[in-house]
Structure 1
Amino acid sequence: MLLNYLNLRNGFSHVMTQITEGSAVSPTNGANDEPSSKRKVAHCFDQGYIDQVRTANVIVMVGLPARGKTYISKKLCRYLKWIGIKTRVFNVGEYRRTEAGASDAVHGANANFFSPDNAEAQRIRAECARRALEDMAVYLGAGGGNVAVFDATNTTRMRRSTVVEFCEGKGFRCFFIESLCDDQKIIDSNITDVKINSPDYKGLMTADQAKEDFEKRIENYKAQYEPMCENVDSNLSFIRVINAGKSFFVHNVMGHVQSRVVYFLMNIHLLPRSIYLTRHGQSEYNEMNRMGGDSPLTEDGRRYAKALGEFFDHEHIGELRIWCSQKIRAAQTANQIASHAANIEYWKALDEIDAGICEGLTYIDIAQRYPKQTEDRTRDKYHYRYPSGESYEDVVSRLEPVIMELERQTNVIVVAHQAILRCILGYFYDRPLMEIPYLDTPLHSLVKLTPRAYHCDSTVYQFDVETGKWTEQHRQLALCDSPI
């Protein structure tokens, strides 16, 4: 019944063979899974993978307001784009605000606008949904997209039938994600943290007025809400996410993309936590400008590792896990912070990009011996694969189980390498794939990521290995042109 990483060996088109039609499933917690270093992931960027996403997919959100639909939409979009599936979110609320401009009656739509008795408002909302669907069709057609996320309440069967008919007419495959929540703490938190700061209310009402109005809006939707049902909706494909992922109900999943969506949704949570990312300290090969290898730390590298241990002595982080690559330089760095976790977990998936025939060479050697390879890599650094080695695209593929685990965990420190951290940062910052090989990840720095509902906060700590001190910097992720 559980989705685990071993499913990946046979490809995601077969993932759902372990979930029977209409199965209720609870999320895994990671503690009972196979050890991280033994997990394997199939390469998902071959021709077979491309074939499985040739049918355009529409992900249709369903649920009352303040149930996390937009959060799920954005997070899912980020994940699918990161694994190479062209995805875009079409939020009907944004169309409504654009349609009405600055009109108080619609742009700052109060609860009455969402009343089932307000015929004019229903007409406007239906028109906005139609426009979003039309734009979605253009994106999936001439726009070359693979997946569109239709982010709206879609609370009635009539509205969902309209969406299904539209998609079937265009040859799109439909999948519904219904977010259900009866946990009042989660609902109140969502209203307070997100909705009262939405464009519908910001600058137009006080926080208390916005909260009161939004609660009335929810009641208006409740009056007409028809939840999805495996009997009435037996011909549809859907997953019900219950109370922010405490449990799930999966029904009639079809195809590769839908399987990937289910896999992802069952591994995310909303609990507050921080993720720390650092490269190993300077290694002997770093000092010599050589690629890859498995050399130990230099004196400066050891100083950084010691300073890193002192940093976490000051942080006092609870429930901390340490993940490390299997390379000597990373292990030596992680050993200095080992006292802050029960043990160090070594992941083969966190090893540096395999430079193939270029392993151990200096960058000057590579340019002189392999000028054609150097030219090809300069032209397309993301897709370029070292002879007998890897590309950044390959690294993203093998890092997918790492990302899933990061989504499931609490506080984690990842000690790895430049290409690895670039791929992880590219995911959390939702950067275009072609930018990933250029993300700046200097030695002797630590990145702290704090995932939020709609973005990811970050703090960078830069270490001075001579003094053992560090400085805190709040800055945007920069691009750089490094040889790796």
Structure 2
Amino acid sequence: MLVALFHHAPPNIDGTRLKQFDQSTVTSRKGSQAPTPPQAVKGIGKKVAKPDYSESKIVLAMVGLPARGKSYLSNKLMIYLKWLEYDVKVFNVGQLRRTRAKQKAQQSGIKEDHSASFFSHNNPEATLSRERLAEDSLEMLIKWLKDGGNVGIHDATNSSRERRAKIEARVNKEPGMTLIFLESVCDDPAVIAANVALKVSSGDPDYKDFSPDKARADFLRRIAEYEKVYETITEPHLSYLRITNVGREVTVSRINGYLSSRIAFYLMNLHLKPRSIFFSRHGESQYNVEGKLGGDSLLSPRGMEYSKALPALIKENIGDQPLTVWTSTLRRTIQTGENLQYTKLTWKSLDELDAGVCDGMTYEEIEHAYPDDFANRDEDKFNYRYRGGESYRDVVLRLEPVIMELERQENILIIGHQAILRCLYAYFHYLPQEDLPYIKIPLHTVIKLTPRAYGCEEERYPLPITAVDTHRAKPRAAQPVAQASSARQYFAPEDQAA
């Protein structure tokens, strides 16, 4: 058995994926004149097909005591993989239990007792009920994979060798399905206490009629019941990851294949340290004023004014905490950050969406030169790739290393471009692809995101410096709005409640 053990080191700001900011090496990537399309070019691009992930079938079974971060890990993984266009769903046994109990109470008037005694293995009737819930949830998951899903996450304690053996035996009956166990171990008293506090203070229906002190005491008794029978993964033949204290230490055993390895690498980069992620577009550029796409133009006078005002706003929010500034390699982002007294790093991956033959043109010029393609892009902006350039789908794929590094880091300010920040914003707010290209990211505004256990909080700070509005609304549709929420879901979706 091959086992890899990883310990998290302090955030690496000198990694090979990052290039140290150096003003002296900044050069123009593209000329400032609009290109003249060759006469033979009849269109500006084509739609990009979604990758075929139909062969990917993974059952990811969680393992761990209550209040150890299982739901946090499963939720984060779901968001990441769905951002990369895999079809992922979490099947949470606790949600299924509460949903069925609610239905039973509505139909028969009988309210089940789900206090700590329900989770005791000395309670045969409740133990049988919990086993059936876990089995039913797994059956729903497997059916969903057969119907086209890629990764089904079985979010339950799965805390005994007997339970894991049953899961293994059931999945082995399905050809082409891979089983991975993900164990979340936590022995940090502060983290456990915070998870317990979140559980009893966030509206959990199990404790609807409990006082906070009584709810906490009962939940601790529930944990104690599970501890009596808990068995960490030691089965040598299983494929598994063990994550200790949410990323401080990771053990990887028998993980094979592209998607399985991708999952492992992502989970190894997560942490729970408090942090803020700031997004800002570059200051207004000369091309913004002229209504042109792309290019490598300098800032306008108003953009320079924003560059000078930005440090005070960031300092007001970050105080004396450390902060790293990331920019693209284009001059307008580097100029915007030149007055910030923090470590600065440039990413080629943060360069703006490449408009190909349309680089340096206005939307009016594009519509006149390529009317059919202009209309087609409006119909499916996420998938449309400029001739010689990129689609939003292409940008999402090249931003994956940025996401990985963002998950590892603490306080970060990204000075970027409209399309780039839309893609990153959609990841943190779990927005659908069809809305992604229309997210409003205005100039001269700082967006502050604060990741939480079950979502992301947001604040916006517009500076009173006039700038052109470069936003183009989604044709014939409402403007997408992020529903910033850090609330946990307690009931199963309709398709998982039957």
Shared fold (TM-score, shorter chain, > 0.5): yes
CA 196–220 in structure 1, closer or farther in 2 if over 3 Å, else same: farther
Deviates most, 358-367 or 196-205: 196-205
Counterpart residue number, 1:81: 82
How far the C-alpha of 1:49 sits from its partner, in A, is 6.7
2:142 alignment partner, one of 115, 127, 137? 137
Counterpart residue number, 2:44: none
Counterpart residue number, 1:190: 195
How far the C-alpha of 1:314 sits from its partner, in A, is 2.4
- TM alignment of 1:15-414, pairs within 5 A: 21-28=2-9, 29-37=11-19, 50=52, 54-101=55-102, 109-142=114-147, 144-171=148-175, 172-229=177-234, 233-315=235-317, 316-336=319-339, 338-339=340-341, 341=342, 343-414=343-414
Find the residue that maps to 1:221 and give its secondary structure: helix
Tell me if structure 2 keeps the 8 A contact 1:352–1:418. yes
Show CA shifts across 1:108-141 (max 9, x none).
6111000001111112212211221222123212
Q: Which amino acid aligns with 1:26?
A: H
Q: Which amino acid aligns with 2:376?
A: D
Q: Which amino acid aligns with 1:186?
A: V
Q: Which amino acid aligns with 1:349?
A: S
Q: Name the CA distance, whole Å, in 2 between partners of 1:107 and 1:91.
A: 19
Tell me if structure 1 keeps the 8 A contact 2:186–2:246. yes
Find the residue that maps to 1:84 and give its secondary structure: coil
Tell me if structure 1 keeps the 8 A contact 2:293–2:355. yes
Counterpart residue number, 2:430: 430
Q: Name the CA distance, whole Å, in 2 between partners of 1:25 and 1:49.
A: 31
Q: Which amino acid aligns with 1:391?
A: S
Q: Which amino acid aligns with 2:327?
A: C
Tell me if structure 2 keeps the 8 A contact 1:96–1:124. no
Show CA shifts across 1:47-95 (max 9, x none).
99746x6131111100111100000000000000011111011100000
How far the C-alpha of 1:371 sits from its partner, in A, is 2.1
Tell me if structure 2 keeps the 8 A contact 1:108–1:204. no
Q: Name the CA distance, whole Å, in 2 between partners of 1:106 and 1:197.
A: 21
Find the residue that maps to 2:384 and give its secondary structure: coil
Show CA shifts across 1:418-441 (max 9, x none).
000000001000111222111111
Tell me if structure 2 keeps the 8 A contact 1:106–1:113. no
CA RMSD of aligned residues (A): 2.3
How far the C-alpha of 1:283 sits from its partner, in A, is 0.6
Alignment: residue pair count: 437
Q: Name the CA distance, whole Å, in 2 between partners of 1:359 and 1:387.
A: 10
Show CA shifts across 1:159-199 (max 9, x none).
11221222222232111100111221211111112344352
How far the C-alpha of 1:279 sits from its partner, in A, is 0.4
Q: Name the CA distance, whole Å, in 2 between partners of 1:157 and 1:327.
A: 54
How far the C-alpha of 1:479 sits from its partner, in A, is 2.5
Tell me if structure 1 keeps the 8 A contact 2:353–2:391. yes
- TM alignment of 1:460-471, pairs within 5 A: 460-465=460-465
Larger relative contact order (Cα-Cα within 8 Å, sequence gap ≥ 6): 2
Q: Which amino acid aligns with 1:25?
A: F
Tell me if structure 1 keeps the 8 A contact 2:185–2:243. yes
Question: How does the TM-score come out when normalised to structure 1?
Answer: 0.86
Tell me if structure 1 keeps the 8 A contact 2:280–2:447. yes
Find the residue that maps to 1:440 and give its secondary structure: coil
Find the residue that maps to 1:153 and give its secondary structure: coil
Counterpart residue number, 2:496: none
CA 133–196 in structure 1, closer or farther in 2 if over 3 Å, else same: same
Q: Name the CA distance, whole Å, in 1 between partners of 2:203 and 2:192.
A: 15
- TM alignment of 1:437-448, pairs within 5 A: 437-448=437-448
Tell me if structure 2 keeps the 8 A contact 1:108–1:200. no
Find the residue that maps to 1:194 and give its secondary structure: helix
CA 30–106 in structure 1, closer or farther in 2 if over 3 Å, else same: farther
CA 48–444 in structure 1, closer or farther in 2 if over 3 Å, else same: closer
Q: Name the CA distance, whole Å, in 2 between partners of 1:292 and 1:176.
A: 45
Tell me if structure 2 keeps the 8 A contact 1:96–1:106. no
Q: Name the CA distance, whole Å, in 1 between partners of 2:110 and 2:201.
A: 17
